[in-house]
A and B are shown apart, each in its own frame.
Chain A
């Protein structure tokens, strides 16, 4: 499994990650980021891409 951590002190809800990995990241009705904390290994490339595009570099991806 892959663990996803978002530093919500850094996150400004720009939502760039949503485009790379919509299965994990979403903007809710208030334009705030919501995400799931675990994902299968097959999603590693998408999740790294999501971390790459985060303007605040708030997303940490680790292999559990």
Chain B
């Protein structure tokens, strides 16, 4: 997605030359959020239901090399090598390799019935086993885990969520809204095992039961591992780039080397990019919200077009980059919409409505508003968009 938006952005900014997409997945770019919702509960849905339309600007001069993963980058020779050994030379490189799910934190002993959810293929495989009456255990209570729980419960599965947190969605939504989301899940029969982790698995050849650290044993036909993601940067290990947690980039989305120097011809976008956002502070972070692949892609596209046209990119980069993160989640009839970086907050405050109905909650770090989240009340939440502004530059007087 971020790669697609970057290519569109470069075209919009005047770049007319060739573009090659090199992708590990066999599918053209598609939208991931439905994978834990509509696509997961609707038999027969596939790539066509989630594919991004390819705009006319990308109908010509574009080649797609899909089902091939990048395995190394030679930044001096400007060549990417794929897993078939083929070399892909470039004038400008966009790193949009995204994330992959963290694996099961204990030994899986090669058992079947263990799933993750990141790709379309993952979703189709998981859908085929979320049958009514199936015992589904979900490890992790972030958005992916909770959305799968809601979908599986709606499909008539018996759902248990195992999480180290005190309440689901704690990191993103805080204790107040997290507790409310737990109540809504429990109304649909989902059971929560909080402050817990997995101790062991029982079964052969597929998992049949899981044992929690407290000793509780749960029947389990399907174990879903949803404990976060890691950036796909191993292929950049010898690239000379700073990939200590994703690809470090500057305000122009240009990669920064481990020597601290900006690489003007290498960009990183989407979930794999790590950058500072002056709306909040100067700490470079990876942020996994859905709107940021689009925001980073559009921005990088501008810089790439300028770079390849031989223009000076510094004025453009100096404009800064301060995208407002936004995220949403549908679980049962709760439509959650948020702006900002709620998980930077040290406190939250209910400012409108009731949590058990519709509401707006503000998130603060110290005295600074860092996020807002609503259940329903979309207009009220939208109105916050202009409330996030970078601090005024220090005056020289």
A38 CB–B CB distance under 8 Å = no
How many A-B pairs have beta carbons closer than 8 Å: the answer is 41
Q: For B55, list chain A residues within 8 Å (CB).
A: 48
Does B385 lie within 8 Å of A19, measured CB to CB?
yes
Query: How many residues on the A side are at the interface (Cβ–Cβ under 8 A)?
Result: 18
Q: Return the chain A residue nearest B291 by Cβ.
A: A53
Does B294 lie within 8 Å of A19, measured CB to CB?
no
Q: Return the chain A residue nearest B385 by Cβ.
A: A19
Q: Is the interface of A mostly helix, strand, loop or mixed?
A: mixed
Does B33 lie within 8 Å of A18, measured CB to CB?
no
Residues of chain A in range 16-57 having any CB-CB distance to chain B below 8 Å: 16, 18-19, 27, 31, 45, 48, 52-53, 55-57
Stretch of B237-245, B249-257, B375-383 with 4 or more beta carbons under 8 angstroms from chain A = B375-383
Does B294 lie within 8 Å of A31, measured CB to CB?
no
CB distance from B34 to the nearest CB of A (A): 8
Q: Return the chain A residue nearest B4 by Cβ.
A: A52
For the complex, what is the distance from the CA of A45 to the CA of B52, rounded to whole Å?
17
Q: For A12, list chain B residues within 8 Å (CB).
A: 328, 330, 335
B16 CB–A CB distance under 8 Å = no
B53 CB–A CB distance under 8 Å = yes
List 10 A-B pairs, minimum CB-CB distance, nearest first.
A31-B378, A57-B31, A55-B328, A52-B294, A15-B378, A15-B382, A27-B379, A31-B379, A14-B328, A14-B337
Q: Chain B: residues with CB nearer than 8 A to chain A?
A: 5, 8, 12, 31, 33-34, 50, 52-53, 55-56, 290-291, 294, 326, 328, 330, 335, 337, 376-379, 382, 385
Q: Chain A: residues with CB nearer than 8 A to chain B?
A: 12-16, 18-19, 27, 31, 45, 48, 52-53, 55-57, 60, 63
